[in-house]
Amino acid sequence: MSRDFWRAFANNYGAVIGLALLLAVVLMAAFADVIYPRSPWSMVTTPFQPPLSDDVLLGSDTLGRDIAAGIVHGSRVSLLIGLTSSAVALFIGVTLGALAGYFGGWVDDAIMRFTELFQTIPNFVLAVVLVAIFTPSIGSLVAAIAIVSWPPLARLARGEFLSLRSREFVLAAVTTGQSTTRIILREILPNSLSPIIVAASLTVATAILLESALSFLGLGDPNMMSWGYMIGASRTVIRQAWWMSFFPGIAILITVLAINLVGEGLNDALNPKLARKGRGR
């Protein structure tokens, strides 16, 4: 099974490229202090230095800070917030979805109405309002992004649980006297995991985009350098200094693209039947 999985994954060009890019970003975040030991906030040169200037590879910003240093350090915020908020969203979503799907009836009704409510609220507007009211910080960003990201995961988990609940092996578990907790955790959950893993990986990508958008609007954590902030801070001078917004944007694009590619690779490898669609039977 796992060997097949890796073979399928490795056969997918995009997925391998995505994984390589993602590894690069992760390494960049891990070794940010080694690559650029100085704070990304410190002035290192004259402002408005174009790329490939003497000591700044990607140029400097309006205050003479090194763009490259900002990008390297910014990867930390993106990954940190992307991963933690997705983890929280995953937990909320899967728990609610599992309960709704397994128990059905009024539990399902109540949970799904609740999910629908959160799906109706424009998620970005809610995130903006939440962060604005609770003052921007890593904590409020993670909370806000998680709160707007869980509904699709809940729907997915519900769908999986709903269909697996009536599968015969689950019925067999009931008739052989397994406890409800055991049925949910050991019989259904492992079998619903692969689509959830794929969706979760895409949630990380969306979370990174959300974080960058919030930072762009000035709602990022004021103590941490982030890509969205860099673009937001320099957008008024874009006519004079394109590089200040260009490079951080490329960083976001590459990171999100890498995660999406990995997610798609996972999808193809975990759900081989779907992947083969369009290629005959």
Partner 1 sequence: MTTSEQAVLALRDLSVSLPPGGDRPLAVDQVTFSVAREEILCIVGESGSGKSMVAHAIMGLLPEPYVKVAGGSARLNGENLFTMSRARQRAVRGIGMGMIFQEPMTALNPLMRVGEQIEEALKLHSRLDSRGRRARVLELLQDVGLPNPGDLRRSYPFRLSGGQRQRVMIAIALALEPDLLIADEPTTALDVTTQKQILDLIRKVQTACGMGVIFITHDFGVVAEIATSVAVMQHGKCVEYGSADTVLNRPEHPYTRELIAAVPHYIEHREDFTPKGQALLKAEAVRKVFRVGSGFLRRGRELVAADNVSLSIHPGETVGVVGESGSGKSTLGRCIVGLHKADGGRIVFQGTDLVGLSRKRFRPFRKDVQMIFQDPYASLNPRYRVADIISQGPIAFGTPRKQAHARAEELLELVGLDPSAARRFPHEFSGGQRQRISIARALALDPKLLIADEPVSALDVSVQTQVLDLLDDIRHQLGLSMLFITHDLRVAAQVCDTIAVMQTGRIVELGSCRDVFSRPQHEYTRTLLDAIPGQGWEIPKDLRHLRADRARRPRELSQ
Partner 2 sequence: MAKIGLFLARRLVKAAIILFFIVLINFALIRAAPGDPASVMAGEAGASDERYVELLRQRFGLDEPLHTQMFIYVTSVFQGDLGYSYRQGRNVSALILERLPATLLLTVTAFVFALAMGVLLGTLAAMKVGRWADTAITTLALISYATPLFWLGLMLILLFSVQLGWLPSFGFESVGAGFTGIDRMLDVAAHMVLPVLTLGLFYMAVYTRLTRSSILEIHDMDFVKTARSKGVTEGKVMVFHVLRNAILPVITFAGFQAGHLIGGSILVETVFAWPGIGRLAFNALLQRDYQVLLGVFVVTSILVLLFNIITDLLYTIVDPRIEVE
Label each residue of 39-95 as H, E or C. CCCCECCCCCCCCCCCCCCCCECCCCEEHHHHHHHHHHHHHHHHHHHHHHHHHHHHH
Q: Are 221 and 135 in contact (CB under 8 A)?
A: no
Does position 194 interact with partner 1 (CB under 8 A)? The reply is no
| Options 125, 172, 174, 185; binder of partner 2; rule CB under 8 A | 125
Pick one of partner 2, partner 1, none as the site partner of residue 57 (Cβ within 5 to 8 A by kind).
none
| Options 191, 218, 270, 271; binder of partner 2; rule CB under 8 A | 218
- What are the phi and psi torsion angles at 66 (to 5°)? -80, 120
Does position 279 interact with partner 1 (CB under 8 A)? The reply is yes
- Residue 250 pairs in a beta bridge with none
Tokens of 144: 């806000």
Please say which residue, 213 or 224, places its beta carbon nearer to partner 2: 213
> How close are the terminal C-alpha atoms of the chain, in Å?
20
Contact string (CB under 8 A) for partner 2, positions 1-20, x = contact: -------------x------
Considering only residues 205 to 244 of the shown chain, the ones binding partner 1 according to CB under 8 A are none
- Cα 233–130–93 angle (5° rounding)? 115
Does position 228 interact with partner 2 (CB under 8 A)? The reply is yes
Considering only residues 103 to 162 of the shown chain, the ones binding partner 1 according to CB under 8 A are 109, 113
Q: How many C-beta atoms surround the C-beta of residue 169 within 10 A?
A: 10
Judged by the rule CB under 8 A, the positions of this chain that interact with partner 1 are 109, 113, 167-169, 171-179, 182, 187, 190-191, 279-281
Judged by the rule CB under 8 A, the positions of this chain that interact with partner 2 are 14, 116-117, 119-130, 132-135, 205, 209, 212-213, 216-219, 228, 231-232, 235, 238-239, 242, 245-246, 248-249, 252-253, 256-257, 260-261, 277-279, 281
